[in-house]
Amino acid sequence: MNILLINPSLTREQVGHYNNRIEKARGIYPSLGLLYIAAVLEQEGHHVEVIDVDIETDPQNKILHSLLRLKPEILCIHVMTWTFHQANEIAKLAKNTLPSICVVAGGAAITSAPEPVMEYSVFDYGVIGEGEKTTIELMRTLGFKGDTSKIPGIIYRKKQQLFLNGQRPLIETLDSIPNPARHLVKLNRYYDALSRKRTCATMITSRGCPYSCIYCDRRNRMGNKWRSFSNRRIIEEMRELKDRYGIKEIMFFDDEFIIDRRRTIEFCNLILEKNLKIIWECRSRVDMVDRELLAIMKKSGCYRIRFGFESGDEAILRILKKGITVKQSLECARLVKESGIEICGYFMFGCPEETEKTIKKTIALIFAIEPDFAVLSKTILIPGSELFDWAASQKLIPADYWEKFLAGEITNTAPCLSSKELPEQRVDQIIRETNKKFYMRPKFMMRKLTKIKSVSQLIRQVHMAGALLNH
């Protein structure tokens, strides 16, 4: 079959953590989830094309032209909560252009709220959770006009009724999944504000997260069981990125890269053994690093680690179920700096039971850690997160907020906690003031300038700084 995959634009939406100016300035990344789906579809023998709206200058015409030229039997759309309405408009365009086309939705939105997403859209099917095996089975069934009622992990419409099939077990052996079909997109159009190279690539080496942070919905999408690709497979994918696409820098997008310390050390040793000469960065918890581990990571090309420090108040960290302490954050920062690896720190403002006093502790932590980059954001209530459910139970937000958003009755950005003592507007003001205080210091700016490796890196970081300081 001819199958068209579309990733709607996140940078054209007003999102929860950051406004769209910041979203665009911080970077544009390919949808790895969609490219994994493209890869398994190609493996099945289908003709597949991908449109990423974020990197198209005229996406409407691109989509229409592709529909008329390719005449796909199936349209697969990656749907995030923020991009739901855009995705639904694309689906309507497809159905108006090709009335017989079948539209399949996948992604975080359909996984977190399958029934409302289907109710307020024209999607025919929704793939819930990990999509590779489900999508293959669905395509085979549709191709032979078979019975979809037996396929686990989907929701579908039949005679104006919605049917939600049982959950599909998680994929245990990730090596069974082919590498993302990156040849279907223009990798040179993606970028990250903080990358050292003009063109870098993103990778995922594991799925799932065993931790219980209340503000996150990832466990609902990829499960709380951590699963990893083998180091051999990871190195092969890195080699493909370097040899086939000329990539010299990789961002690992795993929620937690260093869960298995032994795996990480073996991975670093393999990079050195294979002489890959690729610089890379990853994300980790503050309680996962030690001096020996950091040394081998640095030697193998790791130049930055992103940490979720979140808060400088112990009580707030406990409420968030972060499982770390302020002391651990400070010790982590000390060790990472000693190793020569950069720190990108994430901090949250407006958490449950937050006060001006607890926020001052977080601001103090930012300056005590002195990260190379500090990313400050409001605490938003993501659908499918424990925090959203708690806020709804406390009547701080309507329980049907996201249903109303999908229905078009609510058009503002993702909800945040707000109270008389600490209204959302005050949190916004604190974030603006803290960004200026942190980034506008002459000492900080001089240190950043000495680390700039190229003109393109300077331009990207200037754009990001402008977005942070003026939003």
Q: Would you give per-residue pLDDT tens digits along the chain (471 residues)?
A: 999 999 999 876 655 544 555 555 578 999 999 999 999 999 999 999 999 999 999 999 999 999 999 999 999 999 998 899 999 999 999 999 999 999 999 999 999 899 999 999 999 999 999 999 999 999 999 998 899 999 999 999 988 899 999 889 999 999 999 999 999 999 999 988 888 887 899 999 999 999 999 999 866 667 788 999 999 999 999 999 999 999 999 999 999 999 999 999 999 999 999 999 999 999 999 999 999 999 999 999 999 999 999 999 999 999 999 999 999 999 999 999 999 999 999 999 999 999 999 999 999 999 999 999 999 999 999 888 999 999 999 999 888 998 998 998 887 667 888 888 899 999 999 999 999 999 998 888 777 676 666 666 666 566 565 655 565
Structure tokens at 241: 């990125």
Question: Which sign does the torsion angle of CA 5, 89, 122, 20 carry?
Answer: positive
| Residue spans per domain, the chain | 2-164, 194-379+416-470
Which candidate, 154, 297, 129, 304, places its Cα nearest to that of 208? 129
Diameter of the chain by CA atoms?
A: 66
Tell me which of 3.10.450.50, 3.20.20.80, 3.40.50.280, 3.40.50.2300 is the CATH number of domain 2-164: 3.40.50.280
Q: Which amino acid is at 192?
A: D
Q: What is the DSSP string of 177-193?
A: SPPP-GGGS-GGG-EET
Integer Cα distance of 412 and 414 in angstroms:
7
User: Terminus-to-terminus CA distance in the chain, angstroms?
Assistant: 46
Q: Mark 426-451 as b/e (b = at least 16 C-beta within 10 Å).
A: bbeebbeebbeebbeeeeeeeeeeee
Measured CA distances, 224 to 206, 211, 321, 439 (Å): 12, 7, 14, 36
Integer Cα distance of 440 and 335 in angstroms:
26
Please state the pTM of the whole predicted model: 0.92
Phi-psi category of residue 408: left, alpha or beta, with phi > 0 → left and psi -120 to 50 → alpha: left
Question: Which sign does the torsion angle of CA 151, 157, 158, 161 carry?
Answer: positive
Q: Which fold has domain 194-379+416-470?
A: TIM Barrel (3.20.20)
